Structure formats: structure tokens, C-alpha cells
């Protein structure tokens, strides 16, 4: 090694040290410009983090921080909109199942009468139906634990369980006890509650939710009705609280021509995204009426708003709920999830129909927000009809809920009588006689099948109330005998909104 190389070797550590010090000094001098990336200081804790650290280090007693964090999360979310929510890990599976139109169970619906659990419906495809359970069976025990006297929520929790696990139910049928072991399976819930031809030209579809399977199910129903000669359609969205936005867009595409705009979304951190028609629809020309009420929300309102803006359909009923916010779901480290509002959706002409939640969450969900607190601007439909934003979708033909029905329910409530119990008791009595109740004219005759104490109370109602009760009891009995589609068909015969829609289409 020569002298020059030796000198360089001696000075190398010194030059490295000088370079490091210089770099550190430069970094230190720039720390105020880049506080989050400076390696001279740690990221500053949030105020909540500081308080938590102090409590852990200094507080006199042990603290349940999970409970505190849960309360803090709820407090933060309460300052946002009503639809931004935290979903605990224990509830996440059932919430996700709702999106897919499924649930895990044995496939029964029940009511409690005189502290006893009575089966009133068997869901198609459920293990209860497959293993021979019947409407009228009473469930006495679940896995050896008595259900007598329990509230319905407690009964559900005892019957509920993991997919593919078994449950043993003790059933009472005609006075005899029997144990039946059932597997808990995944059961699909169809979005289409009813589909049938009201007359030779008018078809009817009852759409109850928007899941990932809704569009496929809807197309099956639409195709079947067209085969039966449907020219005009009534699409019932009453009670449909929404669900998957894309499914509502796909259905709207079946009614609208060209590349029309169906809806668009936009948020502070999300750019504008348009949803347009992309194919020829299967029902672009027939007359179309949509039914809605105060429970029609979210994805339902996307469909309602698009067809109203383009003057493609008439809307009958009462004002829709008014939810114009879009949520995304984020999984968290503890297996829970945050469903956070990230954007607003708008109808084709730019309406956001979100109603005010300034009066608080309770008033918002009770539909107590007054029109005066809602933002109202005038828009014009494709044919120049005046439409408004804020506060839901206003129907073209407003038909208020029949006060006779609400007054009847109130009269029954005052007497402590449940309509579901009345129908079940009448069904069992009629079944003993061997007659098919759906083919028997009920009127007041069914009242005589009830226990004397109940029949006397029913008979004491006003005649118009008795008529309403008879209609509803008849429909519920038909549901137990022939399924939910026939139930809806029976109800529709007495429904003033459906009657008005049919009359409009047959003029």
C-alpha cells in the first residue's frame, strides 16, 4: 500500500463522521418544516392517547379500557351522521350476511303465546322444514334448556349458533314431546317477496331489500311475468330500507334507454363517480308505477329518483325516508368494523335527497324531522316537472296511510291483543276442522274460533275495525298455509295504494 492510499485510509473515518454530523444538523434545522418525518422527535400523541397513557400510569384503580374505548368510539360517531356506525366483532358476521341476503339458523319463525314458543312459519330450504317440523309445533327446550317464559330475544339467542353446528329441540306436538336434532345451515332470503299478475296486463313485484343477489332474482321475476303477458308493471318498494347500491343501478338500467345517467356519488375524499345505463333494458317501454313509503330508503331511493328524474315512472304512496349518504365498511384490528359515510349520492338532475339530522338521531329515525329543517331546492325533470331535494322522494300521487288501519292497531293494543297471535289461534282452530282457511270466507266467523275472553274483546270493537282485523288475520293465515307470496297477494286486495295504481294502469 503506498503512502497516498494509507493517508486516505486514515482520514476516511473522520470524513464519515463529519458527513453524519452535517446531515444531522441539516435534519435538525429542517424539523419545523417536516415535523411528521423528523427523526429527532417521535410523532406527538393525540390528546386521547395522552389521557389514556396517564390513566394507565397514574390512576388509582384498574380500568377496563375496552369499555372506555367503546364509549369513546360511540361518542365520536355520534358527532357525525346517523349512518356512520361501529359494528362489534360479534355482530359483523350477521351484518355481512344481511348484505348477501343470508343468515345462519334452522329456518323458523315463532311467536310467544302464554309463555310458550310457537312455530308460525318454516322457511324454504331450512333444516326445520327438511326435518319435519310443522307450523303449530311448540318448542319447549333448546339443548336441554327451557324456553318457557323467556322473551323472544332470549329465545333467538339460545337457538342461534355457528354454521354446521347442531341444536336439539324438544318439540310438543298434539300433547306429545319429541326431541329433534337439527343442523344450523346458511339460508338464503329472497329479495322478491311476491310476484304475480294482478290482471291480464298488469304485473306486480314486491322487492323487500337490495342484496348482492337482488338483480338476478329481479330478472327471474321480470322474465316470468313477461312470459305471462305482462304489459305494465307495479314495483312495490314500500318497507325496502335499501342495501347494495350497484343492484339498484342494475335494475334501473332495465327501465331506462340509451346511456342515461342513473346516479352519481361524490365526497370530500372521493371524486365524482357516475353510474350510467350500459345495455338495452328488458322493460323500457311498458307503463311503470313504483310504490314507496317512509321506510323506502337508500338504494330504493336511488331507483325512485332515477326513474322520477327521467319521467320513466309514476310514484304512488308517501314520501320516502330521505337517505342520500353512501357508506363504506372498513375492518379494524379487533375484527370489528367501521361503516363510515364517505360520499353523497345524487339523482341524475343533481338532487341529494338526504334529509336533515340536525334534531338528533332519535328524531331522525322516528321520521320526526320537519320539512322546515330540510334543504329544499327546485329542480326540473326531463319533461319539466318540478322536483325537490332534501327530505326524501316526494311521490307523484300522494296516498296517505289509511288511518283506519292505524286506529285499528291502536284499539287492539289498548286491549293487549296481538294480530299475529289472533291469526295463529284461528289457523290452529280451522286446521282442526280440516278446512283450508284461504278458501273460507272469514268475515266474522273466525272470531268464534277464538277463546271466549278474546272473541268477546274482538266483538266489542267497532264494525270497521273488525273488518280490518279480518283482512289482516286472513292474510296471515294464508301466509302460514301457502307462503309469503300468497300473503302479499291477499293483503293487496285490500290495499288502497295498490288499488289506485291498478286503476291508473287500466284506465
Report the phi/psi class of residue 269: left, alpha or beta, with left for phi > 0 and alpha for psi in -120 to 50.
alpha
pLDDT(25) > 50: no
pLDDT(372) > 70: no
For 166-175, the pLDDT digits (tens) are 999 999 998 8
Candidates 426, 423, 436; CA nearest to 481 is 436
**pLDDT band per the 50, 70, 90 thresholds, residue 433:** low
Give pLDDT, residue 98: 84
In CATH, the architecture of 102-188 is: Roll (2.30)
For 221-237, the pLDDT digits (tens) are 999 999 999 999 999 99
Give pLDDT, residue 288: 98
Give pLDDT, residue 244: 93
Give pLDDT, residue 2: 53
For 326-360, the pLDDT digits (tens) are 999 999 888 889 999 999 999 999 999 999 888 88
Report the phi/psi class of residue 311: left, alpha or beta, with left for phi > 0 and alpha for psi in -120 to 50.
left
Which residues, other chains included, contact 470 with Cβ-Cβ below 8 Å and sequence gap of 6+? Answer: 442, 443, 444, 446
| Mean of pLDDT over the chain | 85
Q: CA 200 → CA 288, 292, 437, 495, 498, distances in Å?
A: 15, 24, 26, 19, 16
Instruction: Identify the residue with better confidence: 133 or 451.
Output: 133
Mapping DSSP to helix (H, G, I), strand (E, B) and coil, where does residue 132 land? Answer: coil
**Residue written as cell 365526497?**
267
Q: Picking from 106-110, 212-216, 247-251, 406-410, which range would have the lowest pLDDT averaged per residue? A: 406-410
The domain made up of 192-398 has a fold known as 2-enoyl-CoA Hydratase; Chain A, domain 1 (3.90.226)
Give the predicted TM-score (pTM) of the model.
Answer: 0.85
**CATH 3.90.226.10 in the chain, residue ranges:** 192-398
How far apart CA 339 and CA 343 sit, in angstroms, is 12
Q: Picking from 40-44, 103-107, 131-135, 493-497, which range would have the lowest pLDDT averaged per residue? A: 40-44
Question: Helix crossing, 245-253 with 299-309: angle to 10°?
Answer: 30
pLDDT(28) > 80: no
Report, in this order, helix, strand and coil percent for the chain, each rounded to 5. Answer: 40, 20, 40
Give pLDDT, residue 507: 72
Return the C-alpha cell found at 371. Answer: 320539512
**CATH 2.30.42.10 in the chain, residue ranges:** 102-188
Amino acid at each position: 500500500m503506498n503512502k497516498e492510499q494509507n493517508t486516505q485510509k486514515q482520514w476516511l473515518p473522520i470524513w464519515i463522521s463529519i458527513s453524519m454530523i452535517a446531515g444531522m444538523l441539516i435534519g435538525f434545522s429542517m424539523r419545523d418544516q417536516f415535523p411528521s418525518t423528523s427523526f429527532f422527535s417521535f410523532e406527538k400523541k393525540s390528546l386521547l392517547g395522552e389521557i389514556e397513557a396517564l390513566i394507565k400510569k397514574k390512576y388509582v384503580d384498574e380500568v377496563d379500557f375496552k369499555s372506555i374505548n367503546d364509549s369513546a368510539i360511540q361518542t365520536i360517531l355520534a358527532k357525525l351522521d346517523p349512518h356512520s356506525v361501529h359494528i362489534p366483532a360479534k355482530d359483523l358476521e350477521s351484518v355481512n350476511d344481511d348484505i348477501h341476503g343470508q343468515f345462519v339458523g334452522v329456518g323458523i319463525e315463532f311467536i310467544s303465546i302464554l309463555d310458550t314458543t310457537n312455530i308460525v312459519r318454516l322457511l324454504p330450504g331450512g333444516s326445520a322444514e327438511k326435518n319435519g317440523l310443522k307450523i303449530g309445533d311448540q318448542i319447549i327446550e333448546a339443548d336441554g334448556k327451557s324456553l318457557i317464559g323467556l322473551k323472544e330475544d332470549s329465545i333467538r339467542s339460545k337457538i342461534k349458533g355457528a354454521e354446521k353446528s347442531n341444536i336439539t329441540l324438544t318439540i310438543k306436538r298434539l300433547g306429545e314431546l319429541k326431541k329433534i336434532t337439527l343442523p344450523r345451515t346458511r339460508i338464503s332470503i329472497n329479495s322478491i317477496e311476491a310476484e304475480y299478475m294482478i290482471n291480464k296486463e298488469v304485473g306486480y313485484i314486491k322487492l323487500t331489500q337490495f342484496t348482492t343477489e337482488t338483480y338476478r332474482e329481479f330478472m327471474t321475476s321480470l322474465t316470468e311475468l313477461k312470459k305471462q303477458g305482462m304489459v305494465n308493471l307495479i314495483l312495490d318498494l314500500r318497507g325496502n330500507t335499501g342495501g347494495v347500491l350497484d343492484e339498484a343501478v342494475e335494475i334501473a338500467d332495465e327501465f331506462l334507454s340509451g346511456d342515461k345517467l342513473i346516479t352519481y356519488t361524490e365526497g370530500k375524499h372521493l371524486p365524482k363517480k357516475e353510474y350510467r345505463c350500459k345495455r338495452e333494458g328488458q322493460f323500457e317501454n311498458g307503463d311503470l308505477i313504483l310504490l314507496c313509503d317512509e321506510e323506502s330508503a337508500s338504494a330504493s331511493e336511488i331507483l325512485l329518483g332515477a326513474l322520477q328524474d327521467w319521467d320513466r315512472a309514476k310514484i304512488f304512496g308517501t314520501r320516502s325516508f330521505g337517505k342520500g349518504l353512501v357508506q363504506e365498511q372498513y375492518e379494524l384490528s379487533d375484527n370489528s368494523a367501521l361503516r363510515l359515510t364517505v360520499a353523497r349520492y345524487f339523482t341524475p338532475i343533481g338532487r341529494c335527497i338526504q334529509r336533515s339530522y340536525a334534531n338528533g338521531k332519535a328524531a331522525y329515525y322516528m321520521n320526526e324531522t320537519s320539512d322546515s329543517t330540510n334543504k329544499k331546492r327546485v329542480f326540473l325533470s326531463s319533461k319539466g316537472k318540478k322536483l325537490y331535494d332534501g327530505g326524501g322522494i316526494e311521490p307523484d300521487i300522494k296516498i296517505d296511510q289509511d288511518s283506519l288501519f292505524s286506529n285499528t292497531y291502536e284499539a287492539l293494543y289498548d286491549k293487549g291483543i296481538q294480530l299475529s297471535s289472533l291469526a295463529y289461534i284461528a289457523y290452529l282452530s280451522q286446521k282442526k276442522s280440516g278446512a283450508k282457511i284461504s278458501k273460507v270466507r272469514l268475515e266474522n266467523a273466525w272470531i268464534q274460533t277464538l277463546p271466549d275472553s278474546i272473541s268477546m274483546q274482538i266483538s266489542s270493537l267497532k264494525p270497521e275495525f273488525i273488518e280490518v282485523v279480518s283482512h289482516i288475520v286472513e292474510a296471515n293465515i294464508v301466509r302460514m298455509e301457502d307462503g309469503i307470496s300468497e300473503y302479499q297477494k291477499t293483503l293487496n286486495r285490500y290495499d288502497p295504494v295498490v288499488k289506485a295504481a291498478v286503476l291508473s294502469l287500466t284506465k
